[in-house]
Amino acid sequence: MSVRNLRGAAAFVGTGLAGIGASPGFTHLDLLGLAVHDSLEDAGIPLAEVDGLFTANMANILPTLAVGEYLGIRPAVAVGTNTGGNSFVDHLLWAAMALDAGLCNVALICYGSNARTGKGTPPDAPPYEAIYNPREPISSYALAAARHMHVYGTTRAQLAAVAVAARQWAQRNPAAFVQDPLSLDDVLKSRMICDPLSLLDCCLVTDGAGAIVMTRPDRARDLRKPPVYLLGCASAQSHRQISQMPDLTVTPAAISGPRAFAMAGVRPGDIDVLQLYDAFTINVILFLEDLGFCKKGEAGALVASGAIAPGGSLPVNTNGGGLSCVHPGMYGIFAVIEAIEQLRGSAGERQVKGAAVALAHGNGGLLSAQTTAILGTAATL
Amino acid sequence: MPHEPPSAPGAEYEKYLKSGALRLQCCTVCGKQIFYPRTLCPYCGSVALEWRAASGRGTVYSATTVRQKPERGGDYNISVIELAEGARMLSRVEGIPAADVKIGMPVEAVIGEANGAALLLFRRMELP
């Protein structure tokens, strides 16, 4: 291995400190905000130019989302690796790589804590929202679904069509956890959890594990299986809590998608098979629209037409998805693995014939963070 | 020099609510109303924020009914409220059945209490 030289590839241009000692009443993010403000003043760079966020703490399970929302920034690169107290020193390396690669232009590395005066509230309990007792994450997705129905006339039957299509794919996948037949009526009559989402609009809760190995192409060519290549990948985020999402019918997939397509040099029409993170039925509708597979507001009709089911023109979630195959809480890796299976041509009864370009889309938080990956066979390079 | 913090935003919000006043932060640079309370403006990065009286009026931006068995307290509403001055917040619309809370409904704030803390709730605004 020869390391591409990062020596001198990135420079430090501003620092800030805040709340050193005891700052009673302040949250860790209040203090972080002041330090960030001063670091940007020190550099002479406006907050709006920050497009790389590197942060970790012991108070947020999803630190880049909590910090990004607090600061009001929408970074193109967000790294929340937490290896303990060394994290911010480690972040320097990933920040330098991202700056060097042109993935971001201004990297912000930041931290805040109220370890001395804070109340030690449980991780990620949103201080201004938990008091209302929303049933998360379902309430937030229900609010998005309700808004989409209000604005675009999307119906519960259209949402249900997503669950039915997932089940039809699952019936072709021996590894899928649930394979019983499922009708639109079954979904519509299942117990309501948070209107308009019923039990069968929600993903499974299963056990499960996944792993992926990547190498450089020179080594990949000599290994056991035909290599599948990463053609494009991009992330975007807009909020942590649903109340801070600018428009509940438009997710950051509308930003990650076009970036990933541009990097891959393909368009939505070039995609042979899609894996869209379906924690809830509304997700698939939102992502089909935001990723450009139909216009905003039209995905309800598209899924109701049968297009995403076996035999349809736009195969989605061929493993059965989070709704019928597997969902242990973080589904993204399973979306990528199914995309690889399809491109290897090893998906058995659910194989999409001749699949050469696949899209795997991950969702994080409460529609908060989105990553779009585009994969291709050797022939697509 | 380390930034000496001003007063703590969360404590300030709670203090106003407990005194029966609804005050929310506004940015003196870009003019935006801000919720939840912060030390810097999420729209422009300024730390020049001030607590201004808010009208408490707003509309339901989206709503859901959290289903719950009657013996556990029954169904209740969860809404995203868009305040007249621009900020959005999660809350509950109370005083009418959860199923009757509709997107677009005009609402006004009332100060309630839960677990010893003051919180902002909303009621349907009655037409004059």
Antiparallel, parallel or unpaired: β B33-34 and B23-27: antiparallel
User: In chain B, which residue's Cα lies nearest the Cα of A245?
Assistant: B88
**Contact across the interface for A46 and B45, Cβ inside 8 Å:** yes
Residue pair A162/A303 in contact (Cβ under 8 Å)? The answer is yes
Which pLDDT score is estimated for A294?
Answer: 98
pLDDT at B117: 86
Nearest beta carbon to residue B3 from set A34, A72, A128: A34
Nearest to A131 among B1, B38, B114 (CB): B114
List chain B residues with CB under 8 Å of A47: 40, 44-45
| Chain A residues lying within 8 Å of B72, measured CB to CB | none
Taking contacts as CB-CB distances below 8 angstroms, the residues of chain A near B65 are: 192, 194-195
Q: What is the pLDDT of residue B116?
A: 84
CB within 8 Å: A143 and B64: yes
**Is B69 in CB contact (< 8 Å) with chain A?**
no
Model pLDDT, residue B48:
95
Interface test with B, best of A42, A190, A191, A244 (most B CBs within 10 A): A244
Both structure tokens of A281? 């039925």
All residues of chain B having their beta carbon less than 8 Å from the beta carbon of residue A135 are 66, 78
Q: What six digits make up the tokens of B104?
A: 């677009």
pLDDT at A219: 86
* Residue B80 touches chain A, beta carbons under 8 Å: yes
Nearest CA in chain B to A26: B8
CA distance B54 to B61: 18
Give me the domains of chain A, ranges plus CATH numbers. 28-125 (3.40.47.10), 138-380 (3.40.47.10)
Q: Is there a contact between A133 and B44 if contact means CB atoms under 8 Å apart?
A: no
Q: Which two tokens stand for residue A295?
A: 């216009």
**Span B28-66, pLDDT tens digits:** 999 999 999 999 999 999 999 999 999 999 999 999 999
**Which run of H or E residues covers position B80?**
strand B76-83
Model pLDDT, residue A86: 86
The nearest alpha carbon in chain A to B100 belongs to: A195
- Interatomic CA distance for residues A288 and A371, integer angstroms: 14
Give me the pLDDT at residue A118, please. Answer: 87
d(CA B30, CA A329): 40
Instruction: Give B124's strand partners.
Output: B107
pLDDT score at A244: 96
Question: How many CB pairs lie under 8 A apart between chains A and B?
Answer: 140
Determine the residue type at A180.
D
Nearest-angstrom CA–CA distance, A363 and A343: 22
Q: Which of B5, B9, B91 sits opposite A19 (nearest CB)?
A: B5
Under 8 Å between Cβ of A361 and A375: no
Distance from CA of B126 to the nearest CA of A (A): 23
- Summarised one tens digit per residue, pLDDT across range A170-221 is 999 999 999 999 999 999 999 999 999 999 999 999 999 999 888 888 889 8
Pull the structure tokens for residue B64. 């859901």
For chain B, domains (ranges, CATH) are: 9-53 (no CATH), 57-124 (2.40.50.840)
pLDDT of residue B128: 67
Amino acid at A53: L
Q: How far is CA A178 from its chain centroid? A: 24
Residue A320 to residue A312: CA distance in whole angstroms: 15
B58 lies within 8 A of chain A by CB: no
Contact A19 B3 (CB under 8 A): yes
B65/A195 touch (CB, cutoff 8 Å), yes or no = yes
What pLDDT, on a 0 to 100 scale, did the predictor assign at position A3?
63
**Mutate: best of A53, A119, A243, partner B, most B CBs <10 A:** A243
Instruction: Determine the average pLDDT of the residues in B83-95.
Output: 97
- Is the distance from CB of A256 to CB of A332 less than 8 angstroms? no
Cβ of A150 and B103 within 8 Å? yes
Cite the DSSP H helix spans in A171-236.
184-189, 217-220
Scanning every residue of chain B, which has its alpha carbon at the shortest distance from the alpha carbon of A69? B42
- Work out the widest C-alpha separation in chain A, in whole angstroms: 64
Strand order of the sheet with strand B23-27? B33-34, B23-27, B49-53
Compare all CA atoms of chain A with the CA of B91 and give the residue at the minimum distance: A132
Does A195 contact B99 at a Cβ distance shorter than 8 Å?
yes
Q: For each successive 10 residues of chain A (381 residues), what is the average pLDDT? A: 74 91 91 95 94 94 95 97 89 93 95 87 76 95 98 98 98 97 98 98 94 89 92 95 97 97 97 98 98 98 98 98 96 96 97 98 96 96 94
Taking only residues 94 to 113 of chain B, the set having a beta carbon closer than 8 angstroms to any beta carbon of chain A reads 99, 103-104
Which of A29, A191, A194 has the CB atom closest to B64's CB atom?
A194
pLDDT for position A76: 96
Q: Which residues pair with B93 in a beta bridge?
A: B122
